[in-house]
Structure 1
Amino acid sequence: MHTRRSSRSLRTGGTLLATALLVSACSLGASTSAATSPTSAADVALGALPRSTPAALSPYYGQKARWHSCGVPGFECATLKAPLDYDKPVGGDVRLAVARKKATGPGKRLGSLLVNPGGPGGSAVAYVQAYAGIGYPAEVRARYDMVAVDPRGVARSEPVECLDGRDMDTYTQTDSTPDDARETTELVGAYKKFAEACGAHSAKLLRHVSTVETARDMDIVRAALGDAKLNYVGASYGTFLGATYAGLFPGRAGRLVLDGAMDPTLPARRLNLDQTAGFETAFQSFAKDCVQQPDCPLGAKGSPSAEAGRKLKAFFRKLDAHPIPTGDADGRTLGEALATTGVIAAMYDESSWAQLREALSSAMKKHDGAGLLVLADSYYERDGDGRYSNLMSANAAVNCLDLPPAYDSPEEVEKAVPAFEKASPVFGEGLAWASLSCAYWPVGPTGEPHRIEARGAAPIVVVGTTRDPATPYPWARALAAQLASARLLTYEGDGHTAYGRGSTCIDSAINTYLLRGTPPVDGKRCS
Structure 2
Amino acid sequence: MRGAQAVTGRANAQAAGILWGKCTDADLVKAKAQCAQLSVPLDYERPKGTTISLALSRVRHTVPDGKYQGVMLVNPGGPGGSGLALATLGGLVPKGAGNAYDWIGFDPRGVGASKPALSCSGDVTAYNRPSYVPVTAALEKTWRQRSKDYARKCAKAGGELLDHVKSADNVRDMDSIRRALGVQQINYYGFSYGTYLGQLYASRYPRAVRRMILDGVIDARTVWYRSNLDQNVAFDRNANIYFDWIAKNDKTFGLGRDGRSMGQAYYGLLAKLRKSPAGGVIGPDEVNDVVLLATYNVSVWPVVAAAFAALVRKGDSGPVKKLYDENYPQGAGSDNGYAMYLATLCTDARWPQDFDRWKRDAWRQHAKAPFVTWANTWYNAPCLSWAAQPGRPAEVDGRQAPPVLLISETLDAATSFEGALETRRRFPKAALVEGAGGTTHASSLSGVACVDNTVADYLERGALPARRPGNRSDRLCDPLQPPAANQPAATGPAPAADQKG
TM-score computed with the length of structure 2 as normaliser: 0.85
Partner of 1:29: none
- Cα distance between partner residues in 2 of 1:152 and 1:317: 40
1:294-324 deviations in whole A, cap 9, x for unaligned?
Answer: 35668423x2x22222221221122122211
Compared with structure 1, are the counterparts of its residues 436 and 164 closer, same or farther at alpha carbon in structure 2 (3 Å cutoff)? closer
Cα pair distance change 1:171/1:84, threshold 3 Å: farther
Q: Which residue of 1 aligns with 2:111?
A: 154
Partner of 1:356: 304
Paired amino acid for 1:117: P
Aligned residue for 2:3? none
Following TM superposition, by how much is the alpha carbon of 1:226 offset from its aligned partner in structure 2, in angstroms? 2.3
CA apart distance, 1:227: 2.1
312, 315, 320: which one aligns with 2:266: 312
Residue 27 of structure 1 is matched in structure 2 by none
Summarize the Cα distance change of 1:95–1:267 in structure 2 as closer, same or farther, 3 Å threshold.
Answer: closer
RMSD over aligned Cα atoms = 2.2
The residue type equivalent to 1:420 in the other structure is Q
Counterpart check, 1:459 vs 2:403? yes
Q: Partners of 2:287 and 2:420 in 1: how far apart?
A: 30
Counterpart residue number, 2:17: 64
Aligned equivalents of 1:94 and 1:423: distance in 2? 45
The change in CA–CA distance for 1:159 and 1:136 in structure 2 (over 3 A counts) is farther
Q: Which amino acid aligns with 1:76?
A: Q
> In the alignment, is the contact (CA less than 8 A) between 2:19 and 2:36 conserved in 1?
yes
Please give the alpha-carbon distance, in whole angstroms, between the structure 1 residues aligned to 2:320 and 2:411.
23
Offset of 1:92 from its aligned partner? 1.1
The match for 1:524 is 475
CA shift, 1:65, in A, is 1.4
SS in 1 for 2:74: strand
Aligned pair partner of 1:281 in 204, 216, 237: 237
* 2:446 aligned with 1:495: no
Query: Are the equivalent residues in 1 in contact too, given 2:119–2:334 (CA < 8 A)?
Result: no
Structure 1 residue corresponding to 2:52, chosen from 94, 114, 124: 94
**2: distance between equivalents of 1:112 and 1:172?**
46
Which of 219, 241, 255 is 1:263 aligned to?
Answer: 219
SS in 2 for 1:291: helix
Deviations 1:424-455 (A, max 9, x none): 2322333344443310111121133x651132
CA distance in 2, matches of 1:403, 1:337: 28
Q: 1:96 to 1:430 in 2, by over 3 A?
A: closer
Kindly indicate whether the alpha-carbon contact (under 8 Å) linking 2:72 and 2:101 is maintained by their aligned counterparts in 1. yes
Distance 1:453 1:484 in 2: 10
Q: Using the TM superposition, give the Cα deviation of residue 371 of structure 1 relative to its aligned residue in structure 2, in angstroms.
A: 2.2
Tell me the equivalent position of 1:395.
341
1:322 maps to 2:276: yes
Matched residue SS, 2:222? coil
**2: distance between equivalents of 1:344 and 1:151?**
26
How far apart, in 2, do the equivalents of 1:172 and 1:82 lie?
A: 41
Distance 1:480 1:278, change over 3 A: same
Matched-pair contact (CA < 8 Å) for 1:177–1:430: yes
**Alpha-carbon displacement from aligned partner over 1:99-121 (angstroms, at most 9, x marks no partner):** 10111125611011111111111
CA distance in structure 2 between the partners assigned to 1:252 and 1:348 by the alignment: 32
The 3-state SS of whatever aligns with 2:221 is coil
- Deviations 1:236-287, CA, capped at 9 Å, x for gaps: 0110111111111011111000100001111433201111122123212212
Structure 1 contact 235–497 (Cα < 8 Å) conserved: yes
Conserved? CA contact 1:63–1:80, under 8 Å: no
Q: What residue in structure 2 maps to residue 143 of structure 1?
A: 100
Q: Tell me by how many angstroms 1:511 deviates.
A: 1.2
Name the SS for the 2:410 alignment partner. Answer: strand
Gap runs ≥5 in structure 1: 1-61, 326-331
Residues 295 and 357 in structure 1, CA contact (< 8 A), matched pair in contact too: no
SS at match of 2:43: coil
**Paired positions, count:** 451
Matches within 5 A, 1:325-404: 325=279, 333-380=281-328, 382=329, 388=334, 390-404=336-350
1:82 equivalent to 2:40? Answer yes
> Is contact 1:63-1:224 (8 Å) kept?
yes
CA offset digits 1:485-526 (Å, max 9, x no partner) = 322221112311131122211111111111101222232221
Identity between Structure 1 and Structure 2 (%): 29
